[in-house]
A and B are shown apart, each in its own frame.
Chain A
Amino acid sequence: MLAKRIIPCLDIRDGQTVKGVNFINIRHAGDPVELGAAYAEQGADELVYLDITASVEKRRTFAGLVEKVARTLTIPFTVGGGIRNEDDVARLLDAGADKISINTAAVNNPDLVEILARRFGSQCIVVAIDTKHTETGDIVYIHGGRTPTERITRDWAMEIVDRGAGEILLTSMDHDGTKNGFALKIIRELAENLPIPVIASGGAGTRNHFLDVFNEGKADAALAASVFHFGEIPIPDLKRYLRENKIEVRL
């Protein structure tokens, strides 16, 4: 059976991992290459490297890093953060990324999703959606969750499927950082109705939250950062727990 995927996310600034890491005894926890390899060793199914570097100039560091990651890593990885156009995507895929993730650029220019899917193939185009629950419904946010848009999350998700996105990375702004569990309702709404995989993100705090996001949220994959970085939930423990609870995972 197709396994549910566990995906650690690494935030990168100026070529270094940002969040403190103490889950494993590696020499340079700040080194994204070593950390990625350690996660792969532990059983991560894929990795996401998110570039949160502010300046455009320093983004070149990131492409260099992607090359190093590609040389080392034996599992697929996605890169995102600040991708604005076809050239950015070509550069990162050439550097060895398996998939790229776009967010604000897709909202500002939905045609970009189509252009990228046609040129590089849907399988490597992940569209990230930051969603927030409001009185009027679930709304798409951009600029790293700072700016609300007019778009309804469900409608936007359907639009990008039509435009050729290969996967959706759905982050709940309400749940992100809370460790109170994933936003099961909106995750399920998308995961059940869309013909492409949905990666759920935001809110992971316990092993049980992952069980919920697969059982109740129907997510195809779950992404988290701090619970993995700080060793709160070791990936092998998480996967054994999920398997004991009848979730198909790769062990």
Chain B
Amino acid sequence: MNIAVIKYNAGNIHSVRLALQRLGIDPLVTDDLQEIRSADKVIFPGVGEASSAMENIRRSGIADLIPLLTQPVLGICLGLQLLCRNSEENSSKCLGIFNTDVRRFPPDDKVPHMGWNQIRDLKGDLFRKVDPDAYVYFVHSYYAELDTFTIATTDYILPFSAAMQQDNFYAVQFHPEKSGTVGEQILRNFLAL
């Protein structure tokens, strides 16, 4: 299986690659548009700041390519946020795959939301064999609101989208690559789509 991990100025690309290698997959970490287009599956990782990430993928042409992809795509963390319409983080216009906006958590508790939290109301094949209320690892200060395409919900300060799906686009706010056996199962499920 030919898996492309999109390379741009984001922080967790290395750990996503290592997690896939633990599952026996050696992904292509690439910013080459043709390689991304022809991959069986595409992972769009990300740790960092939204506006500089958007600027980076606009310059490389990846921003224009992503909406055209027809194979399964998995956005992780900032990857999820960049797949939304707009982000409050430095007022960034994002890719608009998911018709929702990304907001900063209100300061009613510690921000970033950091650590292990539960995912509930799990829907679809991405969560096959994952227990309801399983714990996964989060690190983020911005969130996507609940919407019709929400396929997992987490509660921190308020309920938000821990995962979303629209057609071939999947996205998770948590880090499956750092979420122990639960995270491995979710990655395996994505690879099996």
Q: Which residues of A contact B (CB under 8 A)?
A: 1-3, 5, 40, 45, 70-72, 74-76, 93-94, 96, 98, 120-124, 166-167, 194-197, 220-221, 250
A121 touches B115 (CB 8 A): no
Q: CB within 8 A of B117: which of A3, A98, A195?
A: A3
Q: Is the CB of A220 within 8 A of B115?
A: yes
Residues of A within 8 A of B179 (CB): 74-75
Closest 9 CB pairs of A and B: A250-B135, A3-B116, A250-B116, A123-B139, A2-B117, A76-B178, A74-B180, A71-B18, A5-B115
Q: Of all chain A residues, which has the CB nearest B77?
A: A123
Q: Which residues of the partner chain A approach B110 to less than 8 Å between Cβ atoms?
A: 194-197, 220
Which residues of B are at the interface with A, using a C-beta cutoff of 8 A? 11, 14-15, 18-19, 21-22, 47-49, 107, 110-118, 135, 137, 139, 155-156, 175, 178-181, 183-184
Least CB distance from B156 to A in Å reads: 6
Q: Is the CB of A197 within 8 A of B19?
A: no
Of the candidates A70, A74, A166, the one whose C-beta lies within 8 Å of that of B14 is: A70
Which residue of B47, B107, B117, B156 contacts A123 across the interface (Cβ within 8 Å)?
A: B47
Q: Offer 11 A-B interface pairs, CB within 8 angstroms, sorted by A.
A: A2-B156, A3-B116, A3-B117, A70-B18, A71-B18, A74-B180, A74-B181, A75-B137, A75-B178, A75-B179, A250-B116
Q: How far is the CA of A1 from the CA of B118 in the complex (A)?
A: 6
A24 to B64, CA, bound (A): 52
Task: Please report the C-alpha to C-alpha distance between residue A31 and residue B178 in the assembled complex, in whole angstroms.
Answer: 21
Task: Give A124 to B110 CA distance when docked, in angstroms.
Answer: 16
Chain A residues with CB below 8 A from B18, complex form: 70-71, 96
Q: What are the residues of chain B within 8 A of A40 when measuring CB–CB?
A: 180
